[in-house]
Amino acid sequence: MAFEGLSDRLQQSIKKIKGKGKVSEQDVKEMSREVRLALLEADVNFKVVKDFVKRIRERSVGEEVMSSLTPGQQVIKIVKDELTELMGGNESKIAVSKRSPTVVMMVGLQGAGKTTTTGKLANLLRKSYNRQPLLAAADVYRPAAIQQLETLGSQLDMPVHSQGTEADPVDIAKQAVEQAKEEHHDYVIIDTAGRLHVDGDLMGELQRIKDAVEPDEIFLVVDAMTGQDAVNVAESFDEQLDITGVLLTKLDGDTRGGAALSIKAVTGKPIKFAGMGEKLDQLEPFHPERMASRILGMGDMLSLIDKAQTQVDEKQAKDLESKMRNASFTFEDFLEQMEQVKNMGPLDEIVNMIPGANKMKGLQNASFDDKQIVHVEAIIQSMTKKERLDPSLMNASRKKRIAKGAGRSVSEVNRLLKQFEDMKKMMKQMSNTKGKKGKGMKFP
């Protein structure tokens, strides 16, 4: 998972100070040293680290901590606030132009994920903002780049403006804006050419496109896995093109975090979206505060709720709640739930969004294997409908048949049945305590 090392080390650094009723300068000094090392190890820009640690240190020995009743907690709040600021403070939204269409130009090095992200951004604009984008294929050099964008367009059922590989990219961009006007698209997203390295010819061409279509946004797509290189690339593109924002891809990989934590401070330009996987729905608005919270192990319930809201049908959720309340939840419902959870992404990522999950006993060293879900699904699918609705029918021969059908062992079938019974018992208890003050579920 992204940020894993940084997250562990930062949590270690703040652990000692957390519960302190009194925070000495020495405590702050020690913590700062550890925070500094954690950031450097995560490949955060040296100067950024220096400034960051200086600010934490100054604030931690200042009035706000010393006069606080919970100084330890106050220091942690400072670290979180500063981490949030480092990544840009507030969420930075995509521009909406007064003229239509809003023109977005995508730039970046080859392999950063520019073409894929063009498709993802269009998808997000339509799904979450109800926009109707037109895509434009202005990368005429990379073999198959145009075809790649056309394929994405057809997967998304979205039009793509292309004029083949012989046309001039500046003309393609201009014509695309014209087509968008005529066909009443409110966004046009132009995929431009990339190179393996920043070079003068490329920048010249991008500059000409910029002059011709006067984009509202120039988004630089950078690969989070390339760490400091991503920051250098961002600096050069910004110098030449005055970019308006950064789209950070591959945050689902095991990036150490350097790019995410340095780009805003070095370039002054915000990260607007983050790529969390190869699929077309895996682009998310970048929320600095939620990210800081996740890095410090405080969870990210808001993103979890966002994710759930895009995957879970409201009526289904209400039905489910009432089934839970009167404990009439069956294996059929369980199967449906698993489908929805699966759509939300890899399990360990989801678990990490729960506040305090990293401290919950049993979850600490658990590895969440998505294959487990597949096994459980196979077991439930091997049950007859009658069995799914009424597990009390289960006897030895039925269990044997189910295990065989699913290609799993009888003991796994038994384990699932037991877990299901336990879950129902818990639901019953929860619905009984509901309404009684102080007895509900509480997050740590």
DSSP class of residue 308?
H
CA distance 189 to 187: 6
Q: How far is the CB of 253 from ligand GDP (least distance, A)?
A: 6
CA distance 203 to 205: 5
DSSP H stretches of helix in 130-221: 145-156, 169-182, 200-213
- Determine whether the annotation assigns residue 12 to a binding site: no
Select from 87-95, 104-112, 160-168, 357-365 the region that touches ligand GDP (CB under 6 A): 104-112
Select from 36-44, 233-241, 245-253, 413-421 the region that touches ligand GDP (CB under 6 A): 245-253
Count of residues that interact with ligand GDP, criterion CB under 6 A: 18
DSSP-assigned beta bridge partners for residue 247: 221, 273
Q: What angle do CA 208, 210, 212 make, to 5 degrees?
A: 70
Considering beta carbons, is residue 43 or 139 the nearer one to ligand GDP? 139
Tell me the residue number closest to ligand GDP, measured at CB. 275
Residue 116 binds to ligand GDP (criterion: CB under 6 A): yes
Q: How far is the CB of 241 from ligand GDP (least distance, A)?
A: 16
SS3 61: coil
Q: How far is the CB of 123 from ligand GDP (least distance, A)?
A: 13
> Out of 110, 228, 240, 358, which residue is the one contacting ligand GDP (CB under 6 A)?
110
CB 34 within 8 A of CB 13: yes
CA distance 397 to 199: 70
Query: 422: which residues sit within 8 A by CB, 6+ positions away?
Result: none
- Determine whether the annotation assigns residue 306 to a binding site: no
Residue 252 binds to ligand GDP (criterion: CB under 6 A): yes
Q: Which of residues 183-242 bind ligand GDP (CB under 6 A)?
A: 194
Q: Which of residues 272-301 bind ligand GDP (CB under 6 A)?
A: 275-278
368, 371, 419 from 404: Cα distances, Å: 25, 18, 20
Residue 253 binds to ligand GDP (criterion: CB under 6 A): yes
CA distance 214 to 193: 17
> Out of 103, 112, 137, 243, which residue is the one contacting ligand GDP (CB under 6 A)?
112
Both tokens assigned to 100: 């239509």
Considering beta carbons, is residue 176 or 233 the nearer one to ligand GDP? 233
> Out of 114, 161, 256, 287, which residue is the one contacting ligand GDP (CB under 6 A)?
114
Amino acid at 27: D
Binding site for ligand GDP (CB under 6 A): 108, 110-117, 194, 249-250, 252-253, 275-278
Annotated binding residues, as ranges? 108-115, 191-195, 249-252
